[in-house]
């Protein structure tokens, strides 16, 4: 399909967010670019964002997908705060939240229970992630 044909109508919007004291953003950049090349609209948060900032961005930008990149190991503290914030603004229900980073298996279960849809580790391929987003991006009544 050419760009013109799909220029009107829904396009998948993603926020790629770096949260907390974690200065490694190469991965987030690579993903932002891959998402762009897949035809998504990607909003990149920049480094060192507080959970409130990520919430603010996700709500205002009305993203379909929130990808949180955490390599610092603080996911158990930061991700719940973001999810709470999304709930506060009625955005939790129809935002697909995915986490990328190094997350131990026990924590993965916990994050999933909280409402994280999927967690991608170091071995995940771009295609896998893009396909996952395409298939699972919320089908909103727009």
Give residues in contact with other proteins (CB under 8 A).
Answer: 3-4, 6-11, 13, 32-33, 35-46, 49-50, 52-53, 56-57, 59-62, 89-91, 142
Tell me which residue has tokens 């955490």.
70
What are the C-alpha distances in Å from 37 to residues 12, 56, 93? 12, 25, 27
Q: Which ranges constitute the DSSP H helices of the chain?
A: 3-6, 26-37, 51-61, 75-88, 105-114, 126-136
> Residue 46 and residue 54: Cα distance in Å, rounded?
10
The residue (of 44 and 120) whose beta carbon lies closer to other proteins is 44
The residue (of 45 and 69) whose beta carbon lies closer to other proteins is 45
> Residue 22 and residue 90: Cα distance in Å, rounded?
28
Indicate the pairing of strand 65-70 with strand 13-18. parallel
Q: Tell me how far, at minimum, the Cβ of 74 lies from other proteins, in Å.
A: 18
Q: Tell me how far, at minimum, the Cβ of 102 lies from other proteins, in Å.
A: 24
Q: Tell me how far, at minimum, the Cβ of 4 lies from other proteins, in Å.
A: 6
Which residues pair with residue 97 across a beta bridge? 66
The residue (of 95 and 116) whose beta carbon lies closer to other proteins is 95
The residue (of 2 and 122) whose beta carbon lies closer to other proteins is 2
Q: Tell me how far, at minimum, the Cβ of 76 lies from other proteins, in Å.
A: 22
Tokens of 130: 């893009």
């Amino acid at each position: 399909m050419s760009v013109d044909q799909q220029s009107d109508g829904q396009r998948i919007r993603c926020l790629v967010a770096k949260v907390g004291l974690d200065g490694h953003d190469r991965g987030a950049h690579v993903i932002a670019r891959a998402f762009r090349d897949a035809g998504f609209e990607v909003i990149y948060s920049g480094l060192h964002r507080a959970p409130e900032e990520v919430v603010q961005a996700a709500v205002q930008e009305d993203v379909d997908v929130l990808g949180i990149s955490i390599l610092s190991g603080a996911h158990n503290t930061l991700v719940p705060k973001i999810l709470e914030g999304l709930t506060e603004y009625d955005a939790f229900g129809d935002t697909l939240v995915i986490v990328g980073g190094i997350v131990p298996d026990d924590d993965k279960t916990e994050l999933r229970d909280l409402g994280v849809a999927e967690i991608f580790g170091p071995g995940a391929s771009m295609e896998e992630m893009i396909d996952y987003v395409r298939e699972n991006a919320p089908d909103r009544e727009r």
